[in-house]
Amino acid sequence: MTVQRYSVNPQAIDTLLTWIKTKDIVVPEIQRPFVWDAIKVRNFLDSLYKGFPVGYLILWRNPNIRTKNGELSSGKKILIDGQQRIVSLIAALLGEDVINKDYENVRIRIAFNPIKEEFEVANPAISKNPVWIPDISILFAPEASIIKIVHDYLQLNPELDQLMIEQRFTKLQKITNNQVGIIELHDDLDIDTVTEIFIRVNSAGTELSQADFAMSKIAANETFGGNELRKAIDYFCHMAVVPEFYRVIESKDVSFSKTDYYRKMLWLKDVKDDLYDPSYTDMLRVAFTSEFGRGRLQDLVALLSGRNFETRQFEEEISQKSFETLKNGVLNFMNETNFDRLTMILRSAGFITNSLIGGKNTVNFAFILYLLAKRQNIHPDDIEHVVRKWFVMSMLTGRYSGTPETVFDQDVRQINNYGVLEHSKTVFDASLNDSFWSALLPQEMDTSSGISPYFLVFQAAQVKMKDKGFLSRDIEVSQLLMNRADVHHLFPRNYLKQQGLQRGQYNQIANYAVAQSEINIAIGDKPPKVYFATLLDQVTGGPKKLGGITDQQQLLDNLRAHCIPEGVFNSMADDYDEFLIERRKLMAFKIRDYFNLL
């Protein structure tokens, strides 16, 4: 017979809000970007008003931990599903600010029309319309008086029936009496079972990751400073995106602004660089993997809970040590020297803008590799070389694009067993062998995606090699990329459309080149054989029509830097397929030479 591992109890919304105020349950997501838009908040309030079901909330009490004196301690309840609904209530009913996806403090104001019993997101037009209450939070303020609110409303709408208005305002105010189903997981469940429940519950809708679960676990712990650690992670990520956020911290969280964490992150307030703006998931991955030698964040949740992987028991000593270790990892991540060193290494490899970076996990493991290499006392110059190469290798092979946690776990274990330099050499030799450069990479370049990692790396190679823009005499690719250059179609798009080619055919990365906009405009839709003939005329004494190159050798050097086959001056100018095949090979070999320079 299957034993039910949870209990289901209805609770009034007012009770839930009280629990949150008294910190009986933990909702750390209040401090993080709010996922729902205002329309969803409106619909949620409308459902509550009409008495519709709004789903269950799932709580889990921290597992009992065996303390040093042998007694069992029970932790706080963690809200592992239902964060957005709770934050919606806090925002709409209590009038508290939330942080949007741009890390800005915003108020979500929900308006109510008692005549039609409708809700809307407040806007200037609604605010000027007297039949609307522009912000329903006035009904839920501690000092709220229905009599006064009705009186003020009827002053603006004297033709309305007072009894009807009173009834509808009272009905709205009483939605806090509505009950929500609470599923409380038993506190004797092991961490693996809770993790499985967590994943299954979030298999649909707005998915919460293991990082969300870990952040909830961190926030729930006050004994070992988890609540403050969670703030440090969140605030650092906020300031990385919006440096001015430090003013919010100093004005609204004075106690945190006096902590060591805050002093360690204050350097961000003067940083305008956005090459690497980490999310809390990125920060957790780097801190956890570099310090614990593991790659799966569900292991972090288990360790913070005090799990002994051998005895499968929960021990306070393990929990305490895990929090201390994670704190050390977070401080290493925040360290200005470490952070600046990582971004400097990426830039030195040619990745000078965040548009060239691709997936965050490639940066995350590059940071992990840097921290591990530093711990292994590897010479700084060797660290730079290996981190640059690892980052580029990861992009070219899609090493962390599938199941990143599994590969993180495998890589960090091998690094801890064999060392950074030995493991990296093994991976480079196996992943980037001769057949990769000559066959696999040219084949993989048969893609139309402008954000393809192969094209991103190719552009970084051009930056590293100080190449000039396509047909530019003086302007380098790096300068163009920093100023939003045009990506020019070497065989013009409209020209290929006229030949009957489809989008996926003319938008090939082997048909792209970084160019000045004026050169792109001057070429227009001219067939390659026409504008390349113009170029030959230009470098043999003819008028300047395309760029400023007037020397034949300069032109050949420029085309070579962009891996453009010299055959474009003759038969290849009419054979697009042959051009693509040959250019892919040349691009692959250029990337190979670039990789060897790193």
**Which tens digits make up the pLDDT trace of 162-219?**
999 999 999 999 998 988 888 887 776 765 666 666 656 654 444 446 787 788 778 7
Same domain? For 413 and 494 the reply is: no
Both tokens assigned to 143: 């000092």
Same domain? For 547 and 414 the reply is: no
Residue 351, domain extent? 337-432
Q: What does the buried/exposed string (b/e) look like for 205-243 if buried means 16 or more CB atoms within 10 Å of the residue's CB?
A: eeebebbbbbbbbbbbbeebbbbbbbbbbbbbbbbbbbb
> Which residue, among 238, 337, 322, has the nearest Cα to 288 in the 3D structure?
322
- Mean pLDDT for the stretch of residues 274-301: 93
In a domain, 458, yes or no: yes
In a domain, 10, yes or no: yes
- Mean pLDDT for the stretch of residues 359-386: 96
Neighbour tally for 165: CB within 10 Å: 19
In a domain, 593, yes or no: yes
72-73 and 65-66: which strand pairing?
A: antiparallel
Inform me whether the pLDDT recorded for 66 exceeds 60.
Answer: no
Whole-number pLDDT of residue 93: 86
pLDDT digits (tens, 9 = 90+) for 435-453: 999 999 999 999 988 789 9
Whole-number pLDDT of residue 87: 79
Domain count, the chain: 3
- Mean pLDDT for the stretch of residues 144-164: 92
What confidence tier does 370 reach under pLDDT thresholds 50, 70, 90? Answer: very high
Name residues whose C-beta falls within 8 Å of residue 387's C-beta, 6 or more positions apart in sequence. 342, 345, 366, 369, 370, 373
> Which residue, among 361, 343, 338, 326, has the nearest Cα to 275 in the 3D structure?
343
> Which residue, among 221, 237, 241, 240, has the nearest Cα to 229 in the 3D structure?
221
Same domain? For 418 and 456 the reply is: no
Inform me whether the pLDDT recorded for 556 exceeds 60.
Answer: yes
In a domain, 80, yes or no: yes
According to DSSP, the residues that pair with 7 across neighbouring strands are 184
Domain end among 432, 458, 489? 432
Phi/psi for 353 (5° steps) reads: -135, 155
Domain end among 163, 191, 206? 206
Same domain? For 378 and 453 the reply is: no
For 509, 538, 577, the CA distances from 351, given in Å and listed in that order, are 18, 33, 30
- Mean pLDDT for the stretch of residues 507-532: 91
Whole-number pLDDT of residue 88: 83
Same domain? For 540 and 592 the reply is: yes
Name residues whose C-beta falls within 8 Å of residue 248's C-beta, 6 or more positions apart in sequence. 105
**CA 94 to CA 109: how far, in whole Å?**
10
pLDDT digits (tens, 9 = 90+) for 455-499: 999 999 999 999 999 999 999 999 999 987 778 999 999 999 888
In a domain, 36, yes or no: yes
Same domain? For 85 and 187 the reply is: yes
CB distance 554 to 468 below 8 Å:
no
- Mean pLDDT for the stretch of residues 83-105: 76
Class of residue 266 by CB neighbours under 10 A (exposed 0-12, middle 13-18, buried 19+): middle
Same domain? For 379 and 464 the reply is: no
Same domain? For 457 and 428 the reply is: no
> Which residue, among 410, 402, 407, 30, has the nearest Cα to 215 in the 3D structure?
30
Domain end among 383, 412, 432? 432
Same domain? For 449 and 428 the reply is: no
**CA 210 to CA 388: how far, in whole Å?**
29
Q: What does the buried/exposed string (b/e) look like for 427-441 if buried means 16 or more CB atoms within 10 Å of the residue's CB?
A: bbeeebeeebbeebb
What confidence tier does 33 reach under pLDDT thresholds 50, 70, 90? Answer: low
Same domain? For 66 and 177 the reply is: yes
> Which residue, among 191, 188, 365, 206, has the nearest Cα to 286 in the 3D structure?
365
Whole-number pLDDT of residue 184: 82
**CA 545 to CA 350: how far, in whole Å?**
30
Same domain? For 16 and 69 the reply is: yes
SS3 call for 165: helix
Same domain? For 563 and 588 the reply is: yes
Both tokens assigned to 314: 């929960």
In a domain, 150, yes or no: yes
Both tokens assigned to 50: 């009409």
In a domain, 438, yes or no: no
Whole-number pLDDT of residue 103: 57
CA dihedral 21, 26, 31, 37 (to 10 degrees): -90
Percentage, residues of the chain above pLDDT 70: 90
In a domain, 454, yes or no: yes
